[in-house]
Structure 1
């Protein structure tokens, strides 16, 4: 029997990886995730993608989180926004000057996914409210955790309820089906400063102590469709 576990309160996509996101009222979802999400990235001459961390695939490029990106109804290329929210006319030239790297450019995904992990990230208000209580001196906002879906959960829902959904499917009104797999391990990017949010290292400390630095529910898409604010999520 399916149980309603929450209602979609906000939708986010991040057209350029590691930049601030774009808030949406509705968006198409397919096997890759939300249409246009992390479809572009800042790529250097070694083929590494700009990120908040250094790995085999990613290169830390401080400052990207202070930039914004949006697609609107277009999927042919994003608008890049400077730290004041103004549209950049020449993204490559701007990025090279802003990052002080002559080898970077804005690059569309070319067969190698720009995602760190799985296509869709969902965070509940129950968990977000817990972070606010556990780190009362920090300015806590879902933008720090970069979810695609913020799900409003009923009063009394325990924090980290997302953990109980792993191995189950959630279905939304349009028929979109998400298969919940695991949570994200959080890094210093969740504590970094961005427009409207000062640096907050205490957030990672409380997550590490309470939940092994993990937060959200990562999912694959088992059935495509249109995702809307106000949709109810039924868990099977």
Structure 2
């Protein structure tokens, strides 16, 4: 069914992340993924959209984060690098975003993930979208996918056919839950990608605002770039 072409982890929700050659997955998803978020004074998480849990914070997408051990290290839009355990981190983030009182916080009772622990896209779906969005720089970073699966260059929405199925990747087994709903983040510049202001509308017009799929971890383990992807079969819920 394909192989793992890239693995991405996002230490801080809505910031650019780090590319890995291997990672451990558990019930929560990739080890350390979205484990931190910028919280406002009401406890909402900084995001690209407003909802019951999230508050839109323009500018978050221009930050990047990586781990030094278990500490997130943030690169600010102007190139400054500040560790997440530095005394000044909260004030510096607040000043950069223009949101007084925000703090960088570790996940507690309420999860930081939008819909599911692991998000993936395929090379086939990127090729499909490229045909409908000519001139747009497209890769998995624009969709903040954890996994890019190389399913070949044929333009088709390959992963959508896996909804309700289980797939095995190396030691890991995932259940594909649903198609991923997109938001304004897909068109924002950042992480070396230019702005694509019409991309969300293109996705909306051609695929009902969805692209890629959301999954949960059925069996954890280590996942590596180059691991093969194999179909396991229908999930229990899907077979009912």
TM-score interval w.r.t. the shorter chain?
Answer: over 0.9
How many Å apart are 1:124 and its aligned residue? 0.2
1:135 is aligned to 133
| 1:1-236 alignment, distance < 5 Å | 5-72=1-68, 74-75=69-70, 77-89=71-83, 90-156=88-154, 158-173=155-170, 175-236=171-232
TM-score (norm 1): 0.92
1:209 aligned counterpart, secondary structure: helix
Partner Cα separation in structure 2 for residue 85 and residue 213 of structure 1? 33
Q: CA deviation digits over 1:158-180, x for unaligned, max 9?
A: 5211111011111122x210000
Aligned-residue CA RMSD (Å): 1.3
Partner Cα separation in structure 1 for residue 100 and residue 57 of structure 2? 13
Of the structure 1 ranges 83-92 and 138-147, higher mean CA displacement relative to structure 2 is found in: 83-92
Q: How many pairs align?
A: 228
Asked if 2 retains the 8 angstrom alpha-carbon contact of 1:51 and 1:64, the reply is yes
How many Å apart are 1:56 and its aligned residue? 0.9
Partner Cα separation in structure 2 for residue 226 and residue 50 of structure 1? 29
Q: CA deviation digits over 1:71-125, x for unaligned, max 9?
A: 15x22x2001112444125321210110122210100001210011100001000
Partner Cα separation in structure 2 for residue 233 and residue 103 of structure 1? 44
Q: CA deviation digits over 1:150-201, x for unaligned, max 9?
A: 0001354x5211111011111122x210000101111111111214222212
Partner Cα separation in structure 2 for residue 122 and residue 79 of structure 1? 24
TM-score (norm 2): 0.91
Partner Cα separation in structure 2 for residue 136 and residue 84 of structure 1? 30
2:236 is aligned to none
